[in-house]
Amino acid sequence: EAQVTQNPRYLITVTGKKLTVTCSQNMNHEYMSWYRQDPGLGLRQIYYSMNVEVTDKGDVPEGYKVSRKEKRNFPLILESPSPNQTSLYFCASSSGIGYTFGSGTRLTVV
């Protein structure tokens, strides 16, 4: 089944403890992206990647890192999470038309 897989689905962590949210797609898509979704603010793009080793900032990149070493994987790294990064995160991939989204990761930073 064609899909974008994110892990974990739920995560509660403490301020300052580094974490990684993994994302993998099995559709051989070139383009991948990370979003956060907050009530009243909608979906905001964090980073996107147009190919292996090619990444660029979206609208809200501060506090996040990404890497694209393989075509199928696009992990999101929070080096020192803070409470304002509590959010619902989505990974997505695309062949060039619309994005296919993962099921989301609900992150709480206390």
Partner 1 sequence: EDQVTQSPEALRLQEGESSSLNCSYTVSGLRGLFWYRQDPGKGPEFLFTLYSAGEEKEKERLKATLTKKESFLHITAPKPEDSATYLCAVGYSGTYKYIFGTGTRLKVLA
Query: Of the listed pieces 17-25, 37-45, 63-71, 76-84, which binds partner 1 according to CB under 8 A?
Result: 37-45
CB of 89 to partner 1, least distance (A): 10
Side chain identity at residue 71, one-letter code: K
**44 counts as binding partner 1 under rule CB under 8 A:** yes
Give the Å distances, CA to CA, from 90 to 25, 33, 70: 13, 8, 19
Give the Å distances, CA to CA, from 81 to 60, 67, 104, 109: 14, 17, 18, 7
- Beta-carbon contacts of 39 under 8 Å, excluding residues fewer than 6 positions away, are none
CB of 66 to partner 1, least distance (A): 13
**90 counts as binding partner 1 under rule CB under 8 A:** yes
Q: Which residues bind partner 1 (CB under 8 A)?
A: 4, 31, 33, 35, 40-45, 48-50, 56, 58-59, 90, 92, 94, 97-104
